[in-house]
Structure 1
């Protein structure tokens, strides 16, 4: 009889919280994959802008859907998904040796108070629960072993703090809502020459023709317009992020720009709003299925990734005491970089659609799949 997945679990840090958690959970079941493959097969790269009224910062997200599950389906892996999972069920899964992929508000995890830029509430973050420890006394609930992709080591976190992070309501519209996932068996190594182009084309379609105007390429244009309005919209001051040094209250515009930088560089994206991770997946597919369109797409997304990273780092250089001139310079730089990366992304998406059409034609003609 094979050992339960939990007993084979090895913690590894990663670029993106969700794909790294899935990579680690799959590895515990015997399927070793690079993180960019898990990420890319989800067909979920994208963009979304969540505007907020008043001085509260607008939110930027670089994926279209939280936990779409497509990568698991393509790998032949079943999954149990449960919303508002009770604590008793979590304990039962862990007692059975399962690894539980848990969605949380990262700001409610105690160790994130010490990680730069990771203190603002965000309910689309993921960690793996891979064990439980008994309480030290009759009054406690014990601890969970938490595998957080942002950390170098496995963590011991009190159960009540994990529960607070799982059930947080501090980050609408992206609250974690107690979602948990347990992977079934049967996952197999993917045929990237067949599955890769289709997954890439799905991302291209959702970016080029999004369901909502604040998503995809139209969402990028909306962000460009919104940035020009921030000096008028994001006025006044806000309480500082928990654990942040500096003034008792932050200027709202500074908070907004720092939040943009954190969303791009620090909130589990691997830097560059997932674009470097996606570039690596495109390059992996191009190795499995040589196509000039795939190589061109990788080049354009790599340029976009550089612009995103520069934007994020520029925003994160601001402090609560930054001058009005520094704020104006940062706003201008964000606008300039958006004007560079938007056409790069559109060109990349068009190349990905072309590569998928050619791959389908080859398959129908009996050539390489």
Structure 2
């Protein structure tokens, strides 16, 4: 039996699985960072709108796909990321890190975690292989593992069989592949002004120049145009499926739209306090407005999932106006943030 109480003691409820896991791990290393600061230092703001070949619905997320790598790199730490289709090998990798006293972030299909299904009250089958929880211990004699998850303050006991099923899910269109991340951070912390500046510059670059199609700002623009064409291109049942999955990913399980804008807004508000630069408060207001826009959009998808001729699919010109406003605000919010960074760099030179 091995349990890492150092991380159990500092863990508490958060708003998103990955950023909560980062906050808990960072706190365990002595970094007194909020969840929002962890998200921002990971250049967390993003957008992805993709239809993968193996997935029968559109996949959405409002964050970047290298949150942990960005944050750990900017702090000068070490991160090991591994994946395998062999659950035995995957478990041995995780155990080795626990035995060394290092917690491990796991990729999981939440439908195989009984505690998660009960908590979220998921009515339809929703296999999602990118949920994150922290492995902080195990007891092989009792065949259980100990997890920290973002919606619970206390440690959760899970059977090793359920954990294996969640890590090795073949049902999830986006498979977890027994993925894990182990993080080690240095004792000394870099200057907060420098890392905030670097993180924001990285985020601006990735939003303006994403590395793949239908990502970042160009992806948001294309997304807003294409979703209004679904009612012309897709049969009703398919429209409802896409709308249901979008509403789930945007708010309930993926927290893919509004919550990420709210987290980034709170990060910018924290930046104003940490750096003394009050201009960040204007950007804070921009992203809080975007938070409300994305939450409203999630509601429109939810209505469209119930009735394929209402909500996002309704024949209403006001929806077009709303989507145009949201896209414009995404561009303007980033432009304003870029101006703050540019002015700061000129003043520093």
- TM-score scaled by structure 2? 0.86
Residues 60-87 of structure 1: CA deviation (Å, up to 9, x unaligned):
1112324451211222322232222522
The answer to whether the 8 A contact 2:103-2:136 is kept is: yes
Three-state SS of the structure 1 residue aligned to 2:213 is: coil
Match of 1:230 in 2: 230
- Structure 1: state its 5+ residue gaps: 137-141, 237-250, 365-369
- The offset of 1:202, in angstroms, is 1.6
Specify which of 123, 126, 129 is matched with residue 129 of structure 2.
123
Structure 2 residue 87 is matched with structure 1 residue 86: no
Specify which of 283, 286, 292 is matched with residue 306 of structure 1.
292
**Structure number having the greater helix percentage:** 2
Match of 1:205 in 2: 205
Residues 241-265 of structure 1: CA deviation (Å, up to 9, x unaligned):
xxxxxxxxxx332222121111111
Match of 2:348 in 1: 363
Q: How many correspondences in the alignment?
A: 340
Match of 1:274 in 2: 260
The answer to whether the 8 A contact 1:54-1:234 is kept is: no
d(CA) in 1 for partners of 2:210, 2:195: 22
Residues 88-143 of structure 1: CA deviation (Å, up to 9, x unaligned):
2322332333211111222332323221459522222211011112344xxxxx01
- The offset of 1:157, in angstroms, is 1.1
| Pairs within 5 Å for 1:37-186 | 37-51=37-51, 56-84=56-84, 86-114=90-118, 115-117=120-122, 120-136=126-142, 142-172=143-173, 174-186=174-186
The answer to whether the 8 A contact 1:61-1:263 is kept is: yes
Distance of aligned partners of 1:68 and 1:26 in 2 relative to their CA distance in 1, 3 Å threshold = closer
d(CA) in 2 for partners of 1:285, 1:5: 35
Residues 142-196 of structure 1: CA deviation (Å, up to 9, x unaligned):
0111111133432111112212222224344x42222212222424445332221
Specify which of 313, 324, 331 is matched with residue 346 of structure 1.
331
Distance of aligned partners of 1:168 and 1:330 in 2 relative to their CA distance in 1, 3 Å threshold = farther
d(CA) in 2 for partners of 1:234, 1:153: 44
Match of 1:26 in 2: 26
d(CA) in 2 for partners of 1:331, 1:25: 47
Structure 2 residue 12 is matched with structure 1 residue 6: no
- TM-score scaled by structure 1? 0.82
| Pairs within 5 Å for 1:309-348 | 309-316=295-302, 320=306, 322=307, 324-325=309-310, 328-329=313-314, 335-348=320-333
Match of 2:219 in 1: 219
Match of 2:244 in 1: 258
